[in-house]
Structure 1
Amino acid sequence: MAHASQSVEQGPSPNELHDPLVRQEFKKAKVWFGFAIAIALIILLIQPLLVIFAGLILGVMLDGGVRLLGRVLPIGRGLRLLIVVVGVILFLVGTFYLTGVGIIEQANQLRATLEGQAVRLTSYLTAQGLMPGASDISGIARQAMSSVGKLTSYLGSAVGASTTLFFILVLGLFFAMEPRVYERGVQWMVPRAERQEFSLTLDRMGFTLRRLLAGKLLGMVAEGVLTWVVLMVGGVPLAALLGIIAGVLAFIPNIGAFITGVLMVAVGFSAGVDTGLWAIGAYVVVQTFDGYVVAPYVAKKTVDMPPALTLGAQILASALLGLIGLALADSFVAMIKVAMERRAEREGVRERAGGAPAA
């Protein structure tokens, strides 16, 4: 039986969710817990996410072609997409049909040339005392091949690479067919108050990516053709193959240019000192043209990214995400840059509306 002087504490218990403080802390805990789960899922599913992003990039490229074709052909989007896809397939098949046999022979010759040049360079450095002996080199080579074998087993077989490429192509086609459907689906997961701003940011990202990728394709074609012509004029062997390699590697700025230069110089010196010097001059001419003509034009029309920022992103992406991350690094940087610029613009508008000086 309760005494008359007994008092009972009023108000909700701290263990009850009716307490506003408990509800607020519980919401904070849910946010942090969800953030930790999202990071763990990204780490575990990074490879599939990269494949999806690569498919998105391909879809943006196809969408850019569809939009460009729509300026001259007032037909349905499906027909324009079909024309773009068929045109790309015919171009690839025609290029392989016209140059396939010669390119395969040049590829075999390039491999033999690089192997011979590597042996000559190693022998010279060994004679100068700058490299270990032959037995040590063999041990280093076996260890390197073992590491390559582990890396190859980690990345998967050629069948896995073909399957990945197939999924990228299929995803790119699906994204290009109905881009608004997927955009609305992503917007649905955003709070209502932020959907308009999110839609505007997505539109700007898509616009920037389309122009960035169009500029990349323009730079790839220009660098490949110019490399082929200059090397052919100088009598450098394998000019056509080196031009194709230069055009493909131009998709990866900085690092691709370095690899192209090494290949050009190695092949050039395999035919003589004069040819090697011409290959060096050709590399300088091509990179000067790309750096002072193509790159500024592309940057002016798309997004101006500092070279050091792009190179740093490529190094991080290649170390964390592998080859696909290296190829997609500048696209990541471009999207992040657009999002940050839009956020800064939005904050500036709020500050001006509130009477405070804009940053």
Structure 2
Amino acid sequence: MLDDVEFIRKILIALGIILLALIFWKLSGVLLLAFGAILTAIIFHSAAEALERYARVPSRWSLATAAFIFLVILVGLVLLFGAQIRTQLSGVIQGLPAAINDFSKSLGLGDVTDEISQAFNDQGSGGLAARLAGIGGTILGGLGDFFLVIVAGLYIAAAPKTHVDGLVKLFPVNQHRRVRSSLHASGEALKLWLVSQLIAMTCVGVLSTIAYWLIGLPSPFALGLIAGLVDFIPFLGPILGALPAVLMGFTVSSEVAIWTIVAAFVIQQIEGNIIFPLVARKVVTVPPALALFAIVAGSVLFGTYGLIFGFPLAVVAYVLVKKLYVKETLGEETPVPGETPAESH
């Protein structure tokens, strides 16, 4: 009888684990947005700490001040450059088909845009309308997710201890210290990486805009903005960010396209060998192959959000494996990014 009860208990536990895994899989998009909110909270919290330390802003007002500065900068950029960037982005979108067509012709592939147009026409007006409606819905959904991440990030940044304590209490009491220490190390490693990445993104965006303007590319501000934003994704980001500029270069001339490739290559060399080493001396260094596979795996499993958050998730996993498994389970001495000297002993 006892054996039957034990067998049933194990079956129920296995079913519970399977059910929990299915729930996590179904909620993967929401969980990735929650991770994005955590990254946003780290940015706001770091800005608030900087205001406290350097601007002597009282702690109770530092986060509100950081959020207000972020809002002012965002509104200011929209007012100053919004119309220009919107116009240039429209120019990029309208010019890309011709750019792709010129590039395909240079490779001897013929007129690709005609084949794409024919594919749309074959589906009829209903199919085209459905596709356009889907694109519009995707854009609106992306904007909604963006604001959700910002608002949730502010809530987390306003009460980080409350959220950390709630997560720690999900584990047994004898594991609270390890879990809290691991969360702190992961948060510090993410903060180091985020700050350095944001500085690098800004430098890449500015340098790309100047370079594309000097080369004579159409819509240099929009192309520079794309290069800076997409640079958030390591390894693949620089390639994806430079691709629209290179394609636009083919609409002008092959010489301009070549100069665009050279400019993008030089900018990435400056970022990798000068900018990033200066701002990321203590940042966690995930092995390049592991990081690349993490980004690709994230995009395959979770789509666009997996591509965006694949590397920071790899940072967290790398820190946790080094701390909880290599250091504390195996007993190997290894430096853990984000861990303070007091926590390392």
TM-score range, shorter chain: 0.7 to 0.9
- Decide whether aligned partners of structure 1 residues 210 and 151 sit closer, same or farther in structure 2, where only a CA change above 3 A counts: farther
Aligned twin of 1:53: 35
Aligned twin of 2:336: none
Conserved 8 A contact 2:104-2:111? no
2:284 and 2:332 mapped to 1: Cα distance? 25
Conserved 8 A contact 1:58-1:172? yes
1:112 and 1:350 mapped to 2: Cα distance? 57
Conserved 8 A contact 1:318-1:325? yes
Moved more, 323-332 or 45-54: 45-54
Aligned twin of 1:244: 225
Conserved 8 A contact 1:220-1:248? yes
- Residue in structure 2 matching 1:337, options 312, 318, 334: 318
Structure 2 residue 262 is matched with structure 1 residue 274? no
Q: CA deviation at 1:175?
A: 0.2
Conserved 8 A contact 2:98-2:113? no
Conserved 8 A contact 1:62-1:84? yes
1:244 and 1:114 mapped to 2: Cα distance? 16
Aligned twin of 1:88: 70
Q: CA deviation at 1:250?
A: 0.8
- Decide whether aligned partners of structure 1 residues 155 and 56 sit closer, same or farther in structure 2, where only a CA change above 3 A counts: farther
2:77 and 2:147 mapped to 1: Cα distance? 21
- 1:301 match: secondary structure: coil
Aligned twin of 2:153: 172
Q: CA deviation at 1:296?
A: 3.7
1:38 and 1:341 mapped to 2: Cα distance? 26
Q: Which amino acid aligns with 2:317?
A: I
- Residue in structure 1 matching 2:89, options 107, 110, 114: 107
Aligned twin of 1:229: 210
Aligned twin of 2:293: 312
- Residue in structure 2 matching 1:220, options 190, 201, 204: 201
Q: CA deviation at 1:253?
A: 1.7
State, as a whole percentage, how many aligned pairs show the same letter: 24
Give 1 or 2 for the bigger CA radius of gyration: 1
Conserved 8 A contact 2:227-2:238? yes
Structure 2 residue 2 is matched with structure 1 residue 14? yes
Conserved 8 A contact 2:100-2:113? no
Aligned twin of 1:97: 79
1:246 and 1:267 mapped to 2: Cα distance? 13
Q: CA deviation at 1:217?
A: 0.3
1:58 and 1:133 mapped to 2: Cα distance? 40
1:209 and 1:314 mapped to 2: Cα distance? 16
- 1:252 match: secondary structure: coil
Conserved 8 A contact 1:299-1:305? no
Aligned twin of 1:189: 170
2:252 and 2:272 mapped to 1: Cα distance? 28
> What CA deviation, in whole Å up to 9, does each residue of 1:203-223 have, x standing for no partner?
001101111110110110111
Aligned twin of 1:293: 274
Structure 2 residue 298 is matched with structure 1 residue 322? no
Q: CA deviation at 1:299?
A: 5.0
Aligned twin of 1:4: none
Aligned twin of 2:238: 257
- Decide whether aligned partners of structure 1 residues 299 and 29 sit closer, same or farther in structure 2, where only a CA change above 3 A counts: farther
Conserved 8 A contact 1:78-1:177? no
Conserved 8 A contact 2:52-2:62? yes
Q: CA deviation at 1:321?
A: 0.9
Q: CA deviation at 1:313?
A: 1.3
- 2:281 match: secondary structure: helix
Moved more, 136-145 or 84-93: 136-145
> What CA deviation, in whole Å up to 9, does each residue of 1:6-57 have, x standing for no partner?
xxxxxxx43576xxxx3xx566545433321210111121122222221111
Unaligned runs of 5+ residues in structure 2 are 334-345
Q: Which amino acid aligns with 1:191?
A: P
Q: Which amino acid aligns with 2:290?
A: L
Number of positions where the alignment pairs a residue of Structure 1 with one of Structure 2:
330
Query: Higher relative contact order at CA 8 Å, sep ≥6: structure 1 or structure 2?
Result: 2
Conserved 8 A contact 2:37-2:152? yes
Moved more, 214-223 or 292-301: 292-301
Conserved 8 A contact 2:105-2:111? no
RMSD over aligned Cα, in angstroms? Answer: 3.0
1:250 and 1:162 mapped to 2: Cα distance? 20
Q: CA deviation at 1:184?
A: 0.6
Q: Which amino acid aligns with 1:14?
A: L
- Decide whether aligned partners of structure 1 residues 135 and 156 sit closer, same or farther in structure 2, where only a CA change above 3 A counts: closer
Aligned twin of 1:40: 22
